[in-house]
Amino acid sequence: MSVKKTSAEKRHDQSEVRRMRNKAVKSRCHTTVRKYLDAIQKKDQALASECLRKVSSEYDNAFRKGVIKRNTAARKKSRMAKLFNVTFAAESAAK
């Protein structure tokens, strides 16, 4: 006969599963942001535009899953878009 788990043990196990799932979502967000910033540094507008779309999608996905809050996702997306606009607006004005 097996020993029953206490409710505290069960809650701990559940929270550990959730923590790992949330960590994976956040890690995916950080990875896409890193790729985006690399594209910005290389001054590759086409690649940066594609990466910006992916970054926005990842943050929306993280919000939908409850990993980050709505305003956090909006703030981070806004800052990434602003970086894109500042970087490439100055470049296009110089041309």
For 15-65, the pLDDT digits (tens) are: 999 999 999 999 999 999 999 999 999 999 999 999 999 999 999 999 999
**Largest Cα–Cα separation, the chain:** 78
| Residue among 76, 87, 74, 91 nearest 48 (CA) | 87
pTM of the entire predicted model:
0.85
Q: Is 50 left (phi over 0), alpha (psi -120 to 50) or beta?
A: alpha
In the chain, beta strands by DSSP E: none
Q: Which two structure tokens, joined as six digits, stand for 62?
A: 């993280």
